[in-house]
Amino acid sequence: MATFFKLFLTFNATSTMIVVYLIKERYYLLCLEKLPIWVSYIAFLLIPVVLTGISLLMEKLLSKDNIECKILSVEEANNTFLPSYLGYFFVALGVESVESMIFVYLIVFVFTLFSQTLYYNPIFLLLGYKFYYITTENNVKLFIISKREIKSAKETVFPKLRRINNTTFIEEGEKTNESHDSKN
């Protein structure tokens, strides 16, 4: 299941590249070809959003974990991946043929899968998630996807996590504006 989830997250993170290409080439969704083209564009844009929603539902199938050790630092990572992600758009805009797009997309997909940046999906930002790098007392750097706004490492704990891999976790729970949660 973990391998399928990683492949699915990678597809979700890179699928807007396909959407940009389809819009650039003025493709219609077959079932919508009698409607104005912008209806197809909206449908194309909604597909990655729906798939990202499905991946958030699938997170419940991942193993539970927590981080309750001392956290030395918290670094927001929202903007770290944005330049790379925007690069996907520019690549999609520059590709001239379907065959080229297929090969370029496969190359990007494989590099994204193996680079471990597949968990950065800008649609998560639209859904209220934030990305953080945290460094634990053992000097281990972890990637956390959370709805919390974390401004300080002081007394921050993560009692309800789902493990994506050994260094990447997604936090369960509701959005909170607290800068940290303390152990009680």
Tell me if 142 sits within 8 A of 166, measured CB to CB: no
DSSP-assigned states of every residue in 119-159: T--HHHHHTT-EEEEEEETT--EEEEEESS-----TT--EE
| 42 Cβ neighbours under 8 A, 6+ residues apart | none
Q: What is the pLDDT along the chain (184 residues), one digit of tens a residue?
A: 678 888 888 899 889 999 999 999 998 888 777 889 999 999 999 999 999 999 888 888 888 998 888 889 999 987 777 787 788 888 899 999 999 999 999 999 998 888 766 567 888 888 899 999 999 988 999 999 999 998 888 878 898 999 888 888 899 865 444 444 443 3
CA distance readout (Å), 70 to 16, 116, 131:
37, 25, 19
Pairing label, strands 168-171, 141-146: parallel
Tell me if 168 sits within 8 A of 142, measured CB to CB: yes
> pTM of the prediction?
0.80
